[in-house]
Amino acid sequence: DTPVIYAITPTYARPVQKAELTRLSHTFMLVQNLHWIIVEDADDKTPLVANLLRKSDIPHTHLVAPTPQEWKRKEKEPNWKKPRGVLQRNKALEWLRNELSYDVTTDQGVVYFADDDNSYSMEIFDEMRKIKKVGVWPVGLVGGLMVEKPILNKTTHKVAGFNSGWRPERPFPIDMAGFAINLGLLVDHPEAQFSLTVEGGYQESEILRHLVTREELEPLADYCTKVYVWHTRTEAPKLSGEAQLRKKGMRSDQDMEV
């Protein structure tokens, strides 16, 4: 059978949240056998996310895991200073390990960390169903490059290195969107998770170091020659008109979910 893809998405409230999640849900609707684990960075589940999941018809699990105030990025702080999505992804891993019903064969699952703002081609989901341990592939528009990708040995077709120019000394210098993991492997290694205290850029290495060696990585997407996912980032909208309205105690989205 086709393995189930467990797509883990951390998400947080901001003006573009519904637009991002709508776009992502419409991608996921095109994918067979996908289970969406959406984890809100909030104290409680919000109606916005609950409504969206209900409408989408995608098999899903809705969780929450608030980032403590001291780990939240301050308004003007550069975004590399604080890790994002860490406790939310760990919450989803905990659910997969402890609460996923026992009758699922864990060998038949693949876990992918799908941030809410990236752009995904359907093809990436077919690729990750081939994974035995950990699969890797190129990611567009990340790390200061058009594409970050594993470099393969020309004769063995195994991963020999990476083209990343940013902190290339990292054990796994790849982006969160550039790999997926066999579910059974994750269940067998409960120590594999993310951490608030590792340096910027080391989250991927933090989880993968427990699970595989570089040599074991499975290159996908046509020997890492195709880009099926892009690390796009959405500009925060300018809402100066909203500030004007607020002075009069009004808002444009009164009684409307935007």
Interaction between residue 10 and ligand UDP (CB under 6 A) = yes
- Binder among 3, 116, 208, 219 for ligand UDP (CB under 6 A): 116
Pick from 169, 170, 158, 168: nearest CA to 224:
158
Strand pairing report for 150-152 and 34-40: unpaired
- The count of chain residues that interact with Mn ion, using the rule CB under 5 A, is 2
Beta pairing partners, 60: 36
- Binder among 5, 11, 125, 193 for ligand UDP (CB under 6 A): 11
Binding partner selected for residue 204 from Mn ion, ligand UDP, none, CB under the kind-specific 5 to 8 Å limit: none
Candidate list 40, 204, 206, 218, residue with the active-site label: 204
C-alpha dihedral, 67 to 69 to 74 to 79, nearest 10°? -30
The encoded tokens of residue 198 equal 């590792």
Catalytic (active site) residue 204: yes
- The residue of the chain with the least Cβ separation from Mn ion equals 117
Interaction between residue 85 and ligand UDP (CB under 6 A) = yes
Q: Between the CA of residue 165 and those of 48, 146, 159, 197, 230, what are the distances in Å?
A: 39, 12, 17, 23, 17
Edge-to-edge, what's the strand order for the sheet holding 218-219? 60-64, 34-40, 4-11, 109-113, 179-182, 134-136, 218-219
Scanning 80-88, 90-98, 132-140, 158-166 for contacts with ligand UDP by CB under 6 A, the matching segment is 80-88
The encoded tokens of residue 115 equal 């941030």
CB of 145 to ligand UDP, least distance (A): 15
Residues in 98-127 that interact with Mn ion by CB under 5 A:
115, 117
Residue with smaller CB distance to ligand UDP, 139 or 187: 139
List residues with catalytic annotation. 204
Site residues, ligand UDP (CB under 6 A): 9-12, 41, 67, 72, 79, 84-85, 88, 115-117, 233
